[in-house]
Amino acid sequence: MEIGLIILSRWLHLLSAAVAVGGFFFAWLVLPAGLAILQPADREAVLLQTRRRFKPFVHSAILLLIITGIYNTMLNWGKYKLNPPLLHPIWGTHVLLAVAAFCVAFYVLAGRSLRTNHRLLMAINLTLLIAAIAAASTLKWAREKTVAEHSTPIVEMR
């Protein structure tokens, strides 16, 4: 049961990240290219509609990222204690980058009209999210390496 929950939690974390990163990438690069032929008024109307439709996906993804992130951290906290000087800064960087990306996402999707620099904000958000993934990958690698190096006795022989 617990193993199923661990797998489900990790899957939801990855899925939410995919929705956020892929969605922002599409909204930043692909959609504007598709809308380039439209009149400015039409283009803005479509972008506003896109933002309205995209918002529930992003908000759900952020909620799931926070819940599954807390659960994953609780599961691995014991491993992080094995080598705090290495693992805690990487974990902190991952969390800080994610929180910064959430703030930018909330800001760029808030309000009734488009932000004047919404494309720049989306690019910044995408960069933050990709950096957060880099920190997560490094964290996972460092955590597995630390666990492998620590040969603490798990089964005590009588």
Partner 1 sequence: MSPFLIALLYLTARYVHVVAATFLVGGTLFYEMVVPMAIDDLRPEQQLVVFARARLIFTWIVWISCAMMLVSGVVASQEHWDFYNPPEQQAQPRFNWGRLPGYWQEWGTSRPTSRPQHMHPQRPPRPLPPEEVFVGHSGLWWAAHASSGLLSLIIAFGLTLGKAPHPSSVRWMRINLAILLLVMFLASATRQARLAEEQHRMTMQQVEGRG
Largest CA distance in the chain: 80
| Residue 157 engages partner 1 in binding (rule: CB under 8 A) | yes
Q: Which of 5, 17, 15, 32 is nearest to 132 (CA)?
A: 17
| Residue 89 engages partner 1 in binding (rule: CB under 8 A) | no
Q: How far is the CB of 117 from partner 1 (least distance, A)?
A: 20
Both tokens assigned to 85: 């000087």
Q: Which is nearer to partner 1, 31 or 123 (CB)?
A: 31
Per-residue binding letters, 32-51, with partner 1 (x by CB under 8 A)? -xxxxxx---x--xxx-xx-
Both tokens assigned to 20: 């956020």
Binding segment (CB under 8 A) for partner 1, from list 1-9, 81-89, 96-104, 109-117: 1-9
Residue 158: helix, strand or coil by DSSP? coil
| Residue 137 engages partner 1 in binding (rule: CB under 8 A) | yes
Q: How far apart are CA 13 and CA 20, in angstroms?
A: 11
CB neighbour list of residue 83: distance below 8 Å, 6 or more residues apart = 142, 146, 150
Q: Which of 42, 32, 7 is nearest to 122 (CA)?
A: 32
Q: Which is nearer to partner 1, 120 or 134 (CB)?
A: 134
| Residue 72 engages partner 1 in binding (rule: CB under 8 A) | no
Q: C-alpha angle with apex 5: 126 to 141, nearest 5 degrees?
A: 50
Contact footprint for partner 1 (CB under 8 A): 2-4, 6-8, 10-11, 14-15, 17-27, 29-31, 33-38, 42, 45-47, 49-50, 52-54, 57, 130, 133-134, 136-138, 140-141, 144, 148, 151, 153-155, 157
